[in-house]
Amino acid sequence: MKTITKIAAGAALGLWGGVAQAADDLTLQLKWVTQAQFAGYYVAKDKGFYEEEGLDVTIKPGGPDIAPVQVLLGGGADVMVDWLPSALAAREKGAPIVNIAQPFAKSGLMLTCLKEHGIESPEDFPGHTLGTWFFGNEIPLMSWMGKLGYPTDGSEGGVTIQKINFNVDPLLQKQVECATTMTYNEYWQVIDAGLTPEDLVVFKYEDEGISTLEDGLYTTEENLKDPEMVDKLARFVRASMKGWKYAEENVEEAAEIVLENDQTGAQTEKHQTRMMGEIAKLTEGSDGRLDEAAFDRSATITMEGGMITKAPEGAWTHDVTDKALQ
């Protein structure tokens, strides 16, 4: 009887300990599908970095029919990944979203053109068709054209902006002369299709001085009013940045972890490893804290491009990263 009592007491104690140490739930909505672009989060989950912070993190992949801001505002996520121009445009339209961390220090956005069309500099864009993704992804290109003073409706002296799917088929099939690509993804799709770097002219947004911040972490103003949520978000950012640094230093392993989480089976080891190598160049040097000068530059470019009408206020905070970096 004493033995049974001890066992029962031990079981009860173990159950109580499990309850006392229950992890806090948190949901992250990604901007796109599972790929190395988001490796830091998958690595943090796989390596137990979230668990070490007392978090049980659910990672929701994105896709062409998923708008992260709608998921966030609808309560389907606590934090989302988005590009700053898209977030600023949504905020001006009434979405109370705030940047709480910026794992990506540099932009991977490019415009890739077929050399045969004679486009050697931005001065050659007028009269040509430029393909880009929409759902907010068109904002950087629209902003750039606005800064250059080029109409985007195909009128004289301007360009034609054509909506394309999230692939490079329109460029390869010469439906557009230039297409939006990322250094870590679509550019390599062009190369894998049989073209060489010598066949292409590439305009990196970083080099053109019109880069805007990408893949930041955003939550709602309401969440930031809750001290417990701020603490949870700080732990999430701290663990996520640990995941990003691990991914930078262990490219192949990070790619393997991404593949293990790809439920579609569409990704390949070669592509994800190459992507992770390029992504590491964008997160290098970042501790997650938003650089104010980079924010101001991004906001100015977005405003000059006509995507927002006034300088944003309250669109970012250091409260979460300050707590995370303590």
Q: What is the model's pLDDT at position 262?
A: 96
d(CA 97, CA 58): 20
pLDDT beyond 50 at 7: no
- SS3 label, residue 131: strand
Name the CA radius of gyration of the chain, rounded. 22
pLDDT per residue over 68-84, tens digit each? 999 999 999 999 999 99
Which of 178, 208, 238 finishes a domain? 208
- SS3 label, residue 160: strand
Residue 12 placed within a domain: no
Q: Which of 90, 59, 101 is nearest to 215 (CA)?
A: 101
Which of 156, 173, 208 finishes a domain? 208
Task: Return the structure tokens found at 55.
Answer: 């978090």
d(CA 256, CA 253): 5
Q: What is the model's pLDDT at position 307?
A: 86
DSSP code for 154: S
Domain housing 99: 22-105+213-324
pLDDT per residue over 233-289, tens digit each? 999 999 999 999 999 999 999 999 999 999 888 899 999 999 999 999 999 999 999
Residue 13 placed within a domain: no
How do strand 109-114 and strand 24-29 relate by DSSP bridges?
A: unpaired
Residue 15 placed within a domain: no
d(CA 207, CA 78): 34
Q: What is the mean pLDDT of residues 17-31?
A: 81
Task: Return the structure tokens found at 231.
Answer: 């603490």
d(CA 305, CA 300): 8
Task: Return the structure tokens found at 159.
Answer: 């360009």
Q: Which of 282, 289, 287, 255 is nearest to 110 (CA)?
A: 282
CATH code for the domain in which residue 183 is found: 3.40.190.10
| One domain for residues 217 and 193 | no
pLDDT beyond 60 at 20: no
d(CA 18, CA 5): 20
| One domain for residues 76 and 217 | yes
Q: What is the model's pLDDT at position 143?
A: 86
Q: Which of 246, 288, 279 is nearest to 35 (CA)?
A: 279
* Structural domain total, the chain: 2
pLDDT beyond 60 at 176: yes
Q: What is the model's pLDDT at position 9?
A: 44
b/e code 194-226 from CB counts within 10 Å (16+ = b): ebeeeebbbbbbeebebbbbbbbbbbbeebbee
- SS3 label, residue 73: helix
140/169: higher pLDDT: 169
| One domain for residues 219 and 95 | yes
Least confident of 42-46, 99-103, 307-311: 307-311
Q: Which of 280, 287, 236, 310 is nearest to 77 (CA)?
A: 236
| One domain for residues 87 and 231 | yes
Task: Return the structure tokens found at 179.
Answer: 């297409």
Q: What is the model's pLDDT at position 140?
A: 87
DSSP H helices, the chain, are 2-20, 39-46, 49-52, 68-73, 84-92, 139-148, 169-172, 186-192, 205-208, 221-224, 227-249, 251-261, 269-283, 292-304, 319-324
The answer to whether 104 touches 292, Cβ cutoff 8 Å, is no
Q: What is the model's pLDDT at position 147?
A: 86
Q: What is the model's pLDDT at position 21?
A: 67
Task: Return the structure tokens found at 162.
Answer: 């054509």
Contacts of residue 109, Cβ cutoff 8 Å, sequence gap at least 6: 140, 180, 182, 183, 204, 205, 211, 212, 214
Q: What is the model's pLDDT at position 33?
A: 95
d(CA 216, CA 315): 12
Residue 150 placed within a domain: yes
The answer to whether 25 touches 228, Cβ cutoff 8 Å, is no
The answer to whether 56 touches 23, Cβ cutoff 8 Å, is yes
Residue 217 placed within a domain: yes
Q: Look over the chain and give the mean of its residue pLDDT values, rounded to a whole number.
A: 92
| One domain for residues 246 and 316 | yes
